[in-house]
A and B are shown apart, each in its own frame.
Chain A
Amino acid sequence: MSEMTQQRGRADPAVVGETLVEVKGLKKYYGGQGVLADPPVKAVDGVDFTIQRGETLGLVGESGCGKTTLGRTLVQLETATEGSVEFDGTDITELTGKQLKQWRRNAQIVFQDPESSLNDRMTIGEIVREPLDVHEVGSPRDRRDKVKDLLASVGLQPEHYYRYPHQFSGGQRQRIGIARALALEPEFVVLDEPVSALDTSVQAKILNLLEDLQEEYDLTYLFIAHDLAAVRHICDRVAVMYLGKIMEIGLTEELYTDPANPYTHSLLSAIPEPDPTVEKERITLPGTPPSPRDPPEGCQFTTRCPAKIRPETHEQLDAETWNAIERFREVIRERSRIDLSIRNRIRRRVGRFSKYDDIDETVADLFDGTGVSEEVMAHVEQAADHVKDGYPNRAREYMGEEFDSVCDTTRPDLYTVSPTNRLSYCHRHTDEYESVDSVLGRQSDGE
């Protein structure tokens, strides 16, 4: 087997390949129907990309960025809210009934958690055979033989056929999950965090196995992971997601060594390298991602972006003050999402609302000792007064009018940022603004 992998050339599929999956304008929203409902969760909010036959596309991002939902939508475990997924030219979001069942054979998924994704009451043989039974492939005897072949190709023994999942280690259970996914000889497999739950030394074996199987069965993978190291090892191209949007997509090595998007920069810089002598310029992102029910109007990353474009009027503010303002806006945003009780609404109407007086402590915590100008402070206090009156939404709008920039108000486009057609979603890729590298470089020099 090792010979095989050595011979294996990684031709550049982005250049020579033939498209297997083409995703256009795909959206997946949850909830939000009905007049009184909360706004929908925009798990996937308009993504476009293609996957070439035979390649491994990585999909990385933090929890809640929509990567798992996207993977599940591609194999029709979720129904798309909008957009299309073309598989060999057929839009599979339109398929129903028999056609859908037929198509499903072609696209399988391996789940993260080998503990819960296998039915503990079935033997390994039954688990792997189940899809063959459902689709009535060949005679029962054929099926049994097929399962034994599959077990062998994922590195299990024929006698494992009659054992139960709980008798296996995590790594072996993941092998079973993989065998099952391959039973119907799919062309396309979504691997949803297949090694995240495993120990390092077991991970390595599963990654090697996945590569071998890809070679053997001509598989096309979508490899979903939050572990950027595994992705770098196994993927030809990578897409980086944040809050339902693809921030950057391109060839793996290029993207890892020379990221274009500020989010990719931040994400890569946050991985602790297994080498204590590496002194990384770590960008520690402030705060947490905003709620996918209430994403920013402009760029999804605007509330945490280290390279965010500032409004012209506040260009000269020092970094500390600017950061305090951003954090204050985050606090207000969170408060504006809290519903008031009826009692407090009445109090608010008669001007006796006091629940939010504690905003002053937060203002003090954020701005004391920052050397903030009187002008900025006046705006902050004005906004704090709105909060105290019980109207955090007004505070939010007020701060927005004063401090919003193009990043807050306008969705960026995807720009081509390299000769290999890597794409990045950021306003800074236009001539109008200083480049991402230059801004981030300036910041780390200043520190």
Chain B
Amino acid sequence: MSTPPAGDDRHVPEDRRTEEEPILSVRNLQTVFHTDRETIRAVDGIDLDIYEGETVGLVGESGSGKSVTARSIMGLVDEPGEILPGSSIKFQGEEITGYDTKQYQNLRGSGIGMVFQDPLSSLNPVFTVGNQIREALKVNRGITGEAAREEAIDLLEAVQIPDASRRLGEYPHEFSGGMRQRAVIAMMLACDPEVLICDEPTTALDVTIQAQILDLLRELQEDRGLSILFITHDMGVIADVTDRVNVMYAGEIVEKAPTEELFAAPSHPYTRGLLEAIPGQQAGQERLRTIEGDVPTPNEPATYCRFAPRCPQAFDDCEAVHPELVGVTEGETEHTAACLLYPEDMSTGEAVAYHERLGGDSSGTDESGAAGDGDVAADGGRSTGDRGRDSVDGGDGR
């Protein structure tokens, strides 16, 4: 709501993405975990933008690196994990990867809030819910005493916890799962964040309770102009709540698209496989399509396609050339896929050469250096001509 277009040197109007800096911008994020035997590249060079008021989805299976991405943004990567130099995370235009513990605490207290799958990990069992919310209000917004009590009640009411004043005096264990998750969201709101990172916030909940929480997040977003990064393995939830989606596989983003586009025309073979594996789309006659093999552990630099061993469309080059995120058709910037079959209007030979060229570019220094085609490829979001913005501006009725 109050994001100043800091240091804006582009001046193409019409399109908000060219006027506005993303509120959260991730470039070439590399988070690794060192073990005795190997280095696991849990997040391996991803780019991600979140603009004000939108919900961006990050979808993937276990081991894809989606949760590590969230923890990297929040400064919650501990030994033996490490964010490699060259990674950049900017919040409201400011680089945060170099933050110290104190600065990260401030950030978590007033800039970026996080909701985990297990609400108990964010709540202290020995204090009442009211105490914890009042504490957050005191530390982050300097509100104390009766004013804090009233604000705490307002917050619990905002997250639709009934009988709020009584429940302030209760302990987390006295809350049901859904109510706990609401309490955590209330605590986050006490910090008045700009961005909310939700890591599988409804996975442990029943569907009717999940529906309540998703409705709640939608309302809060409208009322408070929150930007949300929504991490989940559930394609149904992605379809329901997000404006744009990033599909992660083995540490990399393999496809990016506006949500409707992704479901209408999934392009990366992995995304297709994942969508086809979802049961229950129609009657149970047919055998479910599956993806052969298992998710690999990314323990070496990606000089090839990590999906190749499982890909029904793999060909020789897939073992030798690293696919970059490119438009699914030439010039397309909103819908990109990291697969040598794209841009689909190029011949395979041309496409492979194109990927090799881009790979050569971006393996040098990032951002500043990358020019021309490379810029488009590395950042599907920044250019003009993007469609589907209206769905972000709200009012698409969902």
Q: How far is the CA of A402 from the CA of B349 in the complex (A)?
A: 78
Q: Is B294 in contact with A270, judged by CB distance below 8 angstroms?
A: no
Closest to B235 in A: A274
Task: Give, as a whole number of angstroms, the nearest-CB distance from A171 to chain B.
Answer: 8
Chain B residues near A288 (CB-CB < 8 A): 176, 178-179, 209
Enumerate B356-397 residues with CB–CB distance to A below 8 Å: 397
Q: How far is the CA of A201 from the CA of B310 in the complex (A)?
A: 12
* Residue of B153, B209, B289 touching A62 (CB-CB under 8 A): B209
B41 interfacial contact with A, CB 8 Å = no
Binary B-proximity of A432-446 (CB < 8 A = 1, otherwise 0): 000000000000000
* Residue of B164, B208, B274 touching A270 (CB-CB under 8 A): B208
Q: Is B294 in contact with A272, judged by CB distance below 8 angstroms?
A: no
Q: How far is the CA of A284 from the CA of B218 in the complex (A)?
A: 13
Q: Is B284 in contact with A272, judged by CB distance below 8 angstroms?
A: no
Enumerate B292-317 residues with CB–CB distance to A below 8 Å: 294-295
Chain A residues near B273 (CB-CB < 8 A): 201
Enumerate B258-311 residues with CB–CB distance to A below 8 Å: 259-260, 263-264, 273-275, 277-281, 283-285, 287-291, 294-295
Chain A residues near B288 (CB-CB < 8 A): 204-205, 207-208, 233
A229 interfacial contact with B, CB 8 Å = yes
Q: Is A285 in contact with B274, judged by CB distance below 8 angstroms?
A: no
If A233-B280, A327-B162, A358-B166 touch, does A5 touch B287 (CB 8 Å cutoff)?
Answer: yes
Binary B-proximity of A328-370 (CB < 8 A = 1, otherwise 0): 0011001100000000000000000000101101100110000
Q: Is B166 in contact with A274, judged by CB distance below 8 angstroms?
A: no
Closest to B176 in A: A288
A377 interfacial contact with B, CB 8 Å = no
Chain B residues near A285 (CB-CB < 8 A): 208, 211-212
B118 interfacial contact with A, CB 8 Å = no
A266 interfacial contact with B, CB 8 Å = yes
Q: How far is the CA of A331 from the CA of B241 in the complex (A)?
A: 30
If A199-B61, A267-B207 touch, does A272 touch B260 (CB 8 Å cutoff)?
Answer: no
Enumerate B185-225 residues with CB–CB distance to A below 8 Å: 206-212, 214-215
Enumerate B235-265 residues with CB–CB distance to A below 8 Å: 235-241, 259-260, 263-264
Chain B residues near A231 (CB-CB < 8 A): 280
A273 interfacial contact with B, CB 8 Å = yes
Q: How far is the CA of A327 from the CA of B259 in the complex (A)?
A: 36
Q: How far is the CA of A274 from the CA of B285 in the complex (A)?
A: 19
If A199-B62, A201-B273 touch, does A267 touch B208 (CB 8 Å cutoff)?
Answer: yes
Binary B-proximity of A287-314 (CB < 8 A = 1, otherwise 0): 1100000000000000000000000000
Q: Is B162 in contact with A230, judged by CB distance below 8 angstroms?
A: no
A72 interfacial contact with B, CB 8 Å = no
Q: Is B280 in contact with A232, judged by CB distance below 8 angstroms?
A: yes
B355 interfacial contact with A, CB 8 Å = no
Q: Is A362 in contact with B166, judged by CB distance below 8 angstroms?
A: yes
A235 interfacial contact with B, CB 8 Å = yes
Number of A interface residues in the complex (CB < 8 A): 59
| Interface class of chain B by DSSP | helix
A187 interfacial contact with B, CB 8 Å = no
Q: Is A276 in contact with B278, judged by CB distance below 8 angstroms?
A: no
If A200-B278, A266-B208 touch, does A276 touch B260 (CB 8 Å cutoff)?
Answer: yes
Q: How far is the CA of A327 from the CA of B166 in the complex (A)?
A: 15
A99 interfacial contact with B, CB 8 Å = no
B14 interfacial contact with A, CB 8 Å = no
Closest to A277 in B: B260
Closest to A358 in B: B165
A275 interfacial contact with B, CB 8 Å = yes
Task: Give, as a whole number of angstroms, the nearest-CB distance from A12 to chain B.
Answer: 13
Task: Give, as a whole number of angstroms, the nearest-CB distance from A381 to chain B.
Answer: 16
Q: Is B279 in contact with A233, judged by CB distance below 8 angstroms?
A: yes
A253 interfacial contact with B, CB 8 Å = yes
Chain B residues near A282 (CB-CB < 8 A): 211
Task: Give, as a whole number of angstroms, the nearest-CB distance from A177 to chain B.
Answer: 18
A211 interfacial contact with B, CB 8 Å = yes
Number of B interface residues in the complex (CB < 8 A): 55
Task: Give, as a whole number of angstroms, the nearest-CB distance from A412 to chain B.
Answer: 20
Q: Is A274 in contact with B278, judged by CB distance below 8 angstroms?
A: yes
If A272-B239, A274-B235, A274-B236 touch, does A361 touch B287 (CB 8 Å cutoff)?
Answer: no
Q: Is B287 in contact with A208, judged by CB distance below 8 angstroms?
A: yes
If A62-B209, A205-B290, A207-B279 touch, does A200 touch B236 (CB 8 Å cutoff)?
Answer: no
A376 interfacial contact with B, CB 8 Å = no
Chain A residues near B283 (CB-CB < 8 A): 232, 252-253
Closest to A56 in B: B284
Closest to B216 in A: A284
Chain B residues near A234 (CB-CB < 8 A): 279, 284
A316 interfacial contact with B, CB 8 Å = no
Q: Is B164 in contact with A362, judged by CB distance below 8 angstroms?
A: yes
Q: How far is the CA of A356 from the CA of B233 in the complex (A)?
A: 43
* Residue of B207, B284, B285, B289 touching A271 (CB-CB under 8 A): B207
B8 interfacial contact with A, CB 8 Å = no
B79 interfacial contact with A, CB 8 Å = no
Q: How far is the CA of A271 from the CA of B162 in the complex (A)?
A: 24
Q: How far is the CA of A282 from the CA of B162 in the complex (A)?
A: 22
* Residue of B163, B212, B233 touching A331 (CB-CB under 8 A): B163
**Highest count of chain A CB atoms <10 Å: which of B178, B211, B260:** B211
A50 interfacial contact with B, CB 8 Å = no
Closest to B242 in A: A276
Q: Is A331 in contact with B284, judged by CB distance below 8 angstroms?
A: no
Task: Give, as a whole number of angstroms, the nearest-CB distance from A333 to chain B.
Answer: 10
Chain A residues near B397 (CB-CB < 8 A): 279
Q: How far is the CA of A267 from the CA of B295 in the complex (A)?
A: 32
B234 interfacial contact with A, CB 8 Å = yes
Q: How far is the CA of A204 from the CA of B236 in the complex (A)?
A: 16
Chain B residues near A228 (CB-CB < 8 A): 207, 280
Chain A residues near B207 (CB-CB < 8 A): 62, 226, 228, 267, 270-271
* Residue of A63, A169, A226, A276 touching B263 (CB-CB under 8 A): A276
Task: Give, as a whole number of angstroms, the nearest-CB distance from B341 to chain A.
Answer: 20
B157 interfacial contact with A, CB 8 Å = yes
Q: Is B284 in contact with A233, judged by CB distance below 8 angstroms?
A: yes
If A62-B206, A272-B234, A282-B211 touch, does A204 touch B166 (CB 8 Å cutoff)?
Answer: no
Q: How far is the CA of A200 from the CA of B203 in the complex (A)?
A: 13
Chain A residues near B241 (CB-CB < 8 A): 272
Chain A residues near B234 (CB-CB < 8 A): 272
Task: Give, as a whole number of angstroms, the nearest-CB distance from A66 to chain B.
Answer: 13
Q: Is B277 in contact with A201, judged by CB distance below 8 angstroms?
A: yes
Q: Is A362 in contact with B165, judged by CB distance below 8 angstroms?
A: yes
Q: Is B279 in contact with A276, judged by CB distance below 8 angstroms?
A: no
Binary A-proximity of B85-123 (CB < 8 A = 1, otherwise 0): 000000000000000000000000000000000000000
Task: Give, as a whole number of angstroms, the nearest-CB distance from A404 to chain B.
Answer: 20
Q: Is A270 in contact with B162, judged by CB distance below 8 angstroms?
A: no
* Residue of A235, A284, A358 touching B284 (CB-CB under 8 A): A235
Q: Is A229 in contact with B278, judged by CB distance below 8 angstroms?
A: yes
Closest to A6 in B: B287
Task: Give, as a whole number of angstroms, the nearest-CB distance from A231 to chain B.
Answer: 7
Q: With A204-B278, A361-B165 given, can you name 7 additional A-B contacts, CB distance below 8 Å?
A: A62-B208, A199-B233, A200-B233, A200-B274, A200-B277, A274-B236, A277-B264
Question: Which 10 A-B pairs have CB atoms at the shortest separation, nearest pair first?
Answer: A229-B280, A272-B236, A233-B279, A62-B206, A232-B280, A272-B240, A358-B165, A199-B61, A274-B235, A204-B277
8 contacts between A and B (CB under 8 A): A169-B294, A200-B235, A201-B290, A228-B280, A233-B279, A274-B263, A284-B215, A331-B163
Q: Which residues of A contact B (CB under 8 A)?
A: 2, 5-6, 10, 62-63, 169-171, 199-205, 207-208, 211, 226, 228-235, 252-253, 266-267, 270-279, 282, 284-285, 287-288, 327, 330-331, 334-335, 356, 358-359, 361-362, 365-366
